Amino acid sequence: MSTVVLESTLTCPECGYVKTETMPTNACQWFYECEQCRAVLKPQPGDCCVYCSYGSVPCPPVQEHSRQKGCCS
């Protein structure tokens, strides 16, 4: 089994601002406020959290399990 990556780079879809954040391991993050434009990011339909929608790396539960099983349920 591969190592779970805890850092993901989020890209704001509104202004393009990029920031690397450490993902929580015990919960899904449904909201994230962009530091530059203050847009509140929410998961895209079918994604469980903002990291799966806007991050360079999916959240830890998705990394540990297949996307078909989902996460955070």
18 located within any domain? yes
pLDDT digits (tens, 9 = 90+) for 51-64: 999 999 999 988 88
- Give the model's pLDDT for residue 72: 57
* Alpha carbon distances (Å) from 34 to 12, 69, 72: 6, 29, 23
Domains contained in the chain, number: 1
User: How does residue 3 score in pLDDT terms, banded at 50, 70 and 90?
Assistant: confident
56 located within any domain? yes
52 located within any domain? yes
Q: Taking the model in full, what pTM does it have?
A: 0.84
pLDDT digits (tens, 9 = 90+) for 22-72: 999 888 899 999 999 999 999 999 999 999 999 999 999 888 876 445 565
71 located within any domain? no
1 located within any domain? no
2 located within any domain? no
Nearest to 61 by CA among 27, 12, 17: 27
69 located within any domain? no
Domain span at residue 58? 7-64
58 located within any domain? yes
